[in-house]
């Protein structure tokens, strides 16, 4: 038994060392790519700046490009819907650029995982466990010690994304990264109606009924004083910059910056993944209620 325990300890140490080495190598690669992005000229398409270290798609690269093209004095971020923070839009900012930040997630196990990660003591990182609503978001942010201008806000909660951004008053991010639902198309400014306890999986069996269209987010951005500067190549994240910080960056319209996603994450009525793509995804949620933010009225898809 002692021999087995000793072997298990050796294997654990070996795996731990290997993971540490791999992460060091990945961060080194990311640092080199970030240096390249710092030197990029003004791009017509944000996708040209993409690279992936911790982000789901190439958002790490886009963010590195943008933070070197706009003036940011307070290098602080907020990110919602981070789960265990292994995959996120801000972790590379934390580890590569030594930004500080606030993370919020509704899963207590994920919060506990983050607190057990080395990054929690190595960096200025605050975490909060809460299901996010339009009613509590400002209190959550102030309780996390943030107010006024911050560097970046990343929103990805697969539901009330539009309504949460609309509700935020206590911070003014220079850059906003927010998920849009490309299945809703590029022509209508619509979002799911606000529902404080919205959970994507429970609202419709397909898992495709969530969030807002890109045009709806662009309308909200205009209301809040932001320009839309583009999307990632996956067609799930949109980028906005405060108007007075745009500098030489190019603002684009929702129609110009829209990218249709290729995610095939739909479910059938039995809960089984059925891999719908293209227009078949829209057909699955056609007829459901949405809120048009331009005419302030309920409609159907």
Indicate whether 23 belongs to any domain.
no
Directed axis angle between helix 2-38 and helix 59-67, to 10°? 50
Query: Does 278 score more than 50 pLDDT?
Result: yes
Counted domains in the chain: 1
Q: Which residues contact 9 (CB under 8 A, 6 or more apart)?
A: none
Dump pLDDT digits (tens) for 148-166: 999 999 999 999 999 999 9
Indicate whether 32 belongs to any domain.
no
Q: Which tokens hold the place of 286?
A: 């056609």
Question: What integer pLDDT is reported at residue 19 of this predicted model?
Answer: 57
Dist. CA 67–CA 99, nearest whole Å: 11
Segments forming the whole domain that contains residue 244: 41-300
Indicate whether 177 belongs to any domain.
yes
- Give the CATH number of the domain where residue 72 resides: 3.40.50.150
Q: Which tokens hold the place of 170?
A: 């206590």
H or E element in which residue 43 lies: none
232 and 59 Cβ atoms separated by less than 8 Å: yes
Query: Does 18 score more than 80 pLDDT?
Result: no
How does the average pLDDT of the chain come out, rounded?
92
User: In degrees rounded to 5, what are phi and psi of residue 141?
Assistant: -70, -45
Indicate whether 30 belongs to any domain.
no
Indicate the Cα dihedral angle 92, 93, 97, 100, nearest 10°: -130
H or E element in which residue 242 lies: strand 237-242
Around 251, how many Cα atoms within 13 Å sit in the side-chain half-sphere? 16
Question: What integer pLDDT is reported at residue 54 of this predicted model?
Answer: 94
Indicate whether 14 belongs to any domain.
no
pTM, 2 dp: 0.92
User: In degrees rounded to 5, what are phi and psi of residue 290?
Assistant: -135, 165
Dist. CA 114–CA 54, nearest whole Å: 14
Q: Dmax of the chain from CA atoms?
A: 72
Percent of residues, the chain, with pLDDT higher than 70: 93
């Amino acid at each position: 038994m002692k021999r087995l325990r000793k072997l298990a300890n050796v294997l654990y140490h070996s795996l731990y060392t290997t993971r540490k080495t791999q992460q060091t190598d990945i961060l080194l690669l990311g640092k080199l790519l970030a240096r390249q992005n710092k030197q990029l000229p003004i791009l017509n398409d944000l996708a040209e700046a993409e690279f992936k270290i911790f982000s789901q798609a190439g958002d790490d690269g886009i963010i590195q490009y943008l933070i070197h093209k706009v003036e940011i004095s307070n290098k602080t971020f907020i990110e919602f819907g981070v789960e265990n923070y292994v995959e996120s839009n801000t972790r590379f900012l934390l580890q590569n650029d030594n930004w500080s930040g606030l993370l919020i997630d509704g899963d207590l196990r994920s919060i506990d995982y983050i607190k057990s990660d080395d990054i929690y003591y190595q960096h200025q990182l605050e975490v909060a466990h809460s299901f996010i609503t339009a009613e509590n978001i400002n209190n959550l942010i102030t309780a996390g010690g943030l107010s006024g201008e911050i560097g970046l806000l990343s929103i990805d909660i697969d539901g009330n994304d539009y309504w949460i951004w609309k509700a935020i008053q206590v911070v003014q991010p220079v850059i906003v990264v927010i998920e849009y639902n490309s299945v809703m198309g590029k022509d209508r400014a619509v979002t799911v109606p606000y529902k404080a306890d919205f959970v994507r999986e429970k609202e419709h069996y397909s898992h495709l009924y969530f969030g807002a269209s890109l045009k709806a987010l662009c309308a909200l951005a205009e209301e809040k004083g932001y320009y839309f500067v583009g999307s990632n190549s996956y067609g799930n994240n949109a980028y906005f910059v405060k108007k007075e910080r745009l500098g030489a960056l190019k603002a684009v319209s929702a129609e110009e910056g829209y990218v249709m996603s290729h995610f095939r994450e739909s479910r059938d009525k039995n809960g089984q993944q059925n891999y719908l793509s293209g227009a078949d995804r829209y057909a699955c949620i056609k007829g459901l209620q949405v809120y048009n933010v331009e005419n302030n009225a309920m409609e159907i898809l």
